Amino acid sequence: MNLNYRFLAMNTLVGVSNDRLKEISENDFSSLTRVQKANLSNELGEMYNSLSTFKSVNPEIQQLATMCMEQKVKIAESDAVVNESNRAKRAAVQQGKFSSYEIPWMNRGE
C-alpha cells in the first residue's frame, strides 16, 4: 500500500493504521523478498512517525506505534541470515545481528 500517513487526520490515521497493521501482521515474513521486507519496514517507519505526533493524546495511538516497531523487529528477525542451526540463528538475533533495517532502539551502530 502506497499511502502518505503524514497528511491524515488523527481519527483517520488510527483507523487506517489499525487496518494496515492487521494486514502486515498476517504476512509470513520469511516468504517475502528483501525488497518487499524493506518496503514494509519503510512503511512501518512512516506510520510510526505519523502516529508519534499523537502518542501523548491517545493511549490507543501509543499502542499502535508500539505495534509498528514490533512488526519492524519481526521483519528484521526474519531477515537474519545465519547458515547454522536455529539455535545459532536465535542467538544472532538476540545479540543484535540483524539486517540493515533501522530499528531505533535496537540499532547498535553496526
Domain boundaries, the chain: 5-106
Q: Tens digits of per-residue pLDDT, 33-81?
A: 889 988 999 999 999 988 888 888 888 889 999 999 999 988 888 876 5
Element (H, E) at 89: helix 86-94
- 28, 75 in Cβ contact below 8 A? no
8-24 pLDDT tens trace: 677 888 888 899 999 99
Cell of 28: 509470513
- CA distance to 19, 33, 34, 55, 86, per residue, from 45 (Å): 16, 18, 16, 15, 28
Residue bearing cell 501482521: 25
